[in-house]
Structure 1
Amino acid sequence: MKFISWNVNGLRAILKKNFTTVFEQLNADFFCLQEIKLQQGQIDLSFPGYTTYWNYAERKGYSGTAIFAKKPALSVKYGIGITEFDHEGRVITLEYPNFFLVTCYTPNSQQKLKRLDFRLKWETAFRQFLHELDQHKPVILCGDLNVAHQEIDLKNWKTNRHNAGFSDEERSAMTSLLNTGFIDTFRELHPQTTGVYSWWSYRFHARENNAGWRIDYFITSEQLKPKIKSAEILTDILGSDHCPIELILVNK
């Protein structure tokens, strides 16, 4: 099974570029999007053979997630069941016979960490949500999790200490998740790989200079470890300030 995750930074904008071509070429079983920046009814988008699930933010032009799935889900849940966190369209969970698929757009702590308290409350609630799912079936989590976990996950780590996405608190929250039965699939297969990122600022020619961050992840339950065939970051694909990431699991 092939899974793709991509923060498209505005679905309407990327549809004017290369999204349809990339979607068709990658031919994923599940194609998950974050930061779609849409309200219901703003576009009419579907692909033959796929069922589409949308979670829109209440605020216009902000956040939002979507999943295109070749197989319809047994059930779908939007959000994590906590009103404080569920008005920004950040999470979709699809249930299948042998796993849950969760796509997530984690809140950004923002400049000077002014939203860090909200972010840390989110981290605690979301981790509990994942653990509850994991009690029933293995979990495949993907999305823009807005944190570079280790120093090798961003180019300029020394100058970004205590900035949003690389604060000690955010990194510690990721560590807590990984220490309680979950795997960062890319780092599991590429433990020492450096210079491979999934997001670059639009400023300072960051992508041209590969001054990036790895903040997009496929994270799975430990019990799926034997099924992981590959986990890659598709850095050559343009169209957004993020690039897609890919997970392939053995389907047996």
Structure 2
Amino acid sequence: MFKLTSLNLNGIRSATSKGLHDWVAAERPDCICVQEIKAQAADMAGRFEELAGMHGHFHFAEKKGYSGVGIYTRHQPSDVITGFGPAEFDAEGRYVELRFDTPARKLSLISAYFPSGSSGEERQQAKYRFLGAIHPHLMRLKAEREFILCGDINIAHQAIDLKNWRGNQKNSGFLPEERAWMTKLLDNNAPDGGMVDVYRQLQPTATDACYTWWSNRGQAYVNNVGWRLDYHLATPALAQLARTEAIYKGQKFSDHAPITIGYELAL
């Protein structure tokens, strides 16, 4: 079983100080996609290039202490791609793709960190620009290769994906436009859709158990007042290989929980 984990770290230095290394060493995923590293290459050197025996590949933000994504893997990729095109977002370190191509197949794993619009209208508009840019990129990718995108999407797609859905319909992360973007991406009958939300394929009705993020305000984590913001989005052929899912809530490494899905897949 190929174990693929995704986790928003909310800072790699913070997450590792809270026991991340020991957890990864015990769980032994084949790959872990991380978001919000909040570090630059110089900060990583000699400290975080490896994680529990896995080698990391990263896309750093130009701004210090901001964003950044990576993939730690036990397998040697055939190619590493950082960024997906738009200068505005590539400067923010939001996309890294590892390719594991062979003569018989084209396969990618992607770690992505979608913008949040919760700080105000300016960032919400940036989020819409990001969604508008990454959708055609994913469709082009889907036309030529199989892939799994793991990451903090910053969208709760359905009412069952967050605790207080009624009160959040005008808040970033659950806005109608954001949810419509996700619906379009997952529409099996649309030529510009067809991606699969792998967790929902395995757990179509889960509510309280599905949350991966909790606000730091109040007692959100203790009371499990959460959102499902972290996803595995896969092409259909790879989604059909998914067998197991787990959202780990036994130890808090950040304001997100790691989500691991097991695939019958060999790199």
**Conserved 8 A contact 1:76-1:92:** yes
Matched residue SS, 2:23 = helix
1:204 aligns with 2:218: yes
The equivalent of 1:70 in structure 2 is 74
Structure 1 stretch displaced more, 223-232 or 134-143:
223-232
1:247 aligns with 2:261: yes
Amino acid at match of 1:32: C
**C-alpha displacement at 1:4, in angstroms?**
0.5
1:223 aligns with 2:237: yes
Residue deviations 1:198-218 (CA, integer Å, cap 9, x gap)? 000111110000000000001
**Conserved 8 A contact 1:237-1:244:** no
Structure 2 CA distance, aligned partners of 1:234 and 1:191?
A: 18
Structure 2 CA distance, aligned partners of 1:192 and 1:153?
A: 10
Structure 1 CA distance, aligned partners of 2:32 and 2:202?
A: 21
Cα-Cα RMSD: 1.4
**Conserved 8 A contact 2:21-2:51:** no
**Conserved 8 A contact 2:21-2:52:** no
1:161 aligns with 2:169: yes
**C-alpha displacement at 1:47, in angstroms?**
3.8
**TM-score, scaled to structure 2:** 0.91
- Length, aligned pairs only: 252
**Conserved 8 A contact 2:202-2:243:** no
**C-alpha displacement at 1:112, in angstroms?**
4.3
* Identical-pair percentage: 37
Change (3 A) 1:8 1:237: same
Question: Which 5+ residue runs of structure 1 have no aligned equivalent?
Answer: none
Residue pairs, 1:7-156, within 5 angstroms? 7-43=8-44, 44-45=47-48, 46-47=50-51, 49-97=53-101, 98=105, 99-156=107-164
**Conserved 8 A contact 1:100-1:133:** no
Residue deviations 1:119-152 (CA, integer Å, cap 9, x gap)? 1121121111111111221110101000100001
Change (3 A) 1:135 1:120: same
Matched residue SS, 2:42 = coil
Structure 1 CA distance, aligned partners of 2:140 and 2:100?
A: 16
Amino acid at match of 1:187: R
Matched residue SS, 2:255 = coil
**TM-score, scaled to structure 1:** 0.96
Structure 2 CA distance, aligned partners of 1:226 and 1:146?
A: 25
Question: Which 5+ residue runs of structure 2 have no aligned equivalent?
Answer: 188-192
The equivalent of 2:190 in structure 1 is none
Structure 1 CA distance, aligned partners of 2:197 and 2:149?
A: 10
Structure 1 CA distance, aligned partners of 2:71 and 2:235?
A: 20
Structure 2 CA distance, aligned partners of 1:111 and 1:59?
A: 17
**Conserved 8 A contact 2:185-2:195:** yes
